[in-house]
């Protein structure tokens, strides 16, 4: 089994989920600022911090020696990996600041949320650049960033839908629908952009998913994740008063989570390198 990349799968997905929770939560507050929604969004800032910390801790299981990780910051001027670690620290601090302010209902909370969103999206951009290297042809494409942003939006949207459904609170209809549609669009855009250039294949036999099978594997990822999002949108359309069916939303989130984990595994399994 090719499961050695699981720490990176959970690192990327959980950190993207964390940023998505904050972003979609702020969109819902823009649409409706009622006290119940505001209180729940404030509580979810703690969930975002917890997911981000869990994802960051997962990444340590992919390092040769976690104690040596801080030394990679010495190459921040030339290494995207060093920049990713620096942005990870900044995003974690921004989420911590937001969580602390949220518990105290500070007037600075909105500013802290904007900072967390901006820094978080920059972190996702830097993470995508780690994989856009010429010596890794299967990852060096324009599809990585939109795929990561799609995961951020879709996971964040359905997480809020799940929490609000089980809390029995009405969901603002426009903002989660918009976020889900944008996320689906980014996913659809990322698929053709990520199509591998088979002329760069060095040894297809060393890959867990050969190039000849990648299109079908990515299609299965899109089918699972897309089915989850469409089921969520159906739950929204069937809830004109804003109260979502918890069972439908739970199933939708489960489909999305399975699809995203499988899709991210396929992404890492497509690894191939040029040169030594």
Per-residue pLDDT of 28-58, as tens digits, reads 988 887 778 888 888 899 999 999 999 999 9
| DSSP secondary structure letter of residue 134 | T
Range(s) of the domain holding residue 126: 6-269
* CA torsion, ordered 194, 196, 202, 208, to nearest 10 deg: 70
**Which of 101-110, 157-166, 227-236 bottoms out in mean pLDDT, i.e. has the lowest?**
101-110
What is the total count of domains within the chain? Answer: 1
Task: Evaluate whether residue 188 is within a structural domain.
Answer: yes
Distance of alpha carbon 193 from alpha carbon 265, whole angstroms = 18
Note the pLDDT of residue 276: 44
Q: For the chain, give the longest Cα–Cα distance.
A: 60
14 vs 174: which has the higher pLDDT = 14
pLDDT beyond 60 at 23: yes
Specify the pLDDT at position 196. Answer: 60
Q: Is residue 146 assigned to a domain?
A: yes
In-domain check, residue 276: no
CA nearest 17: which of 54, 43, 69, 70? 54
Output 217 or 129, whichever has higher pLDDT: 129
Q: Is there a domain that residue 47 lies in?
A: yes
Q: Are 71 and 86 a contacting pair, CB within 8 Å?
A: no
Comparing 19-23, 90-94, 208-212, the range with the smallest average pLDDT is 208-212
Q: What are the Cα distances from residue 188, in Å, to 79, 218, 247?
A: 30, 11, 27
Please state, in angstroms and rounded to a whole number, the distance separating the CA atoms of residues 199 and 137. Answer: 10
Kindly give, in sequence order, each residue whose CB lies less than 8 Å from that of residue 34, ignoring residues fewer than 6 positions away: none
Q: What is the CATH number of the domain that holds 156?
A: 1.20.1630
Tell me the percentage of the chain whose pLDDT exceeds 90. 51
Q: Per-residue pLDDT for 72 more than 70?
A: no
In a domain, 275, yes or no: no
Please check whether residue 213 lies inside any domain of the structure. yes
Among 67-71, 72-76, 92-96, 236-240, the minimum mean pLDDT is found in 67-71
CA separation for the pair 123, 61 (Å, rounded): 20
pLDDT score recorded for residue 45:
92
Domain membership of residue 1 (yes or no) is no
- pLDDT bucket at 1, cuts 50 / 70 / 90: very low
Cβ atoms 219, 131 nearer than 8 A: no
Residue 248: per-residue pLDDT: 94
Least confident of 4-13, 52-61, 133-142, 202-211: 202-211
């Amino acid at each position: 089994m090719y499961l050695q990349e699981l720490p990176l799968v959970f690192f990327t997905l959980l950190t993207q989920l964390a940023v998505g929770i904050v972003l979609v939560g702020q969109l819902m507050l823009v649409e409706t600022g009622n006290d119940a929604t505001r209180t729940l969004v404030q509580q979810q800032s703690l969930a975002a911090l917890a997911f981000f910390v869990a994802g960051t801790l997962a990444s340590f299981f992919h390092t040769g020696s976690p104690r040596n990780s801080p030394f990679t910051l010495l190459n921040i001027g030339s290494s995207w990996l060093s920049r990713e670690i620096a942005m990870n620290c900044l995003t974690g601090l921004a989420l911590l600041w937001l969580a602390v302010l949220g518990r105290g209902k500070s007037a600075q909370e909105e500013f802290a949320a904007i900072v967390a969103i901006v820094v978080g999206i920059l972190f996702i951009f830097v993470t995508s650049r780690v994989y856009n290297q010429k010596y890794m042809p299967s990852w060096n494409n324009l599809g990585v960033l939109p795929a990561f942003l799609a995961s951020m939006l879709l996971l964040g949207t359905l997480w809020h839908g799940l929490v609000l459904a089980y809390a029995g609170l009405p969901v603002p209809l426009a903002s989660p629908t918009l976020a889900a549609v944008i996320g689906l669009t980014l996913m659809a855009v990322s698929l053709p952009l990520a199509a591998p250039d088979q002329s760069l294949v060095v040894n297809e036999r060393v890959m867990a998913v050969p190039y000849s099978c990648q299109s079908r594997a990515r299609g299965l990822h899109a089918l699972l994740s897309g089915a989850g999002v469409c089921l969520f949108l159906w739950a929204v359309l069937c809830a004109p008063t804003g109260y979502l069916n918890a069972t439908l939303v739970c199933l939708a989130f489960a489909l999305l989570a399975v699809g995203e984990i499988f899709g991210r595994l396929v992404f890492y399994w497509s690894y191939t390198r040029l040169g030594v």
